[in-house]
Amino acid sequence: MNKTVATCEGESWTLNTDFAKRLATFERKVLRRMFGGINLSENWRRRYNKELTQLCGDIDTLSFANIRLLNWIGRVNTMGSKRKVSQVFNNNRQGSRLRGRS
């Protein structure tokens, strides 16, 4: 499964437990669709989660998203201090914002 497509722009995701469950469910649905069921003498059954992980043989999508997040944090840390992304990440905002609606 191409995890880059499933985690498109995943560097900025907030990976809480609810989102992690949804991501794992999505991954299992896609893998079940890709590998299909098992035919047992005219009876079909769904693959178990353990069978899916053995067939896939790759890291799960949640771990891949965590790795992408860590890579992004590393890129932000190497940016110059004048860049807006680095300022927001390090909470060193400069300037002031006008009061009221804009």
What Cα–Cα distance (Å) separates residue 66 from each residue in 20, 62, 70, 73, 84? 10, 6, 6, 11, 23
Q: Is the pLDDT of residue 1 over 60?
A: no
> Which pLDDT tens digit goes with each residue over 43-71?
888 888 888 888 887 777 788 888 888 88
Task: Map out the domains of the chain as residue ranges.
Answer: 16-58, 59-92
Q: What is the band of 94 on the pLDDT scale with cuts at 50, 70, 90?
A: low
Q: What was the pLDDT predicted at 93?
A: 64
Record the pTM: 0.59
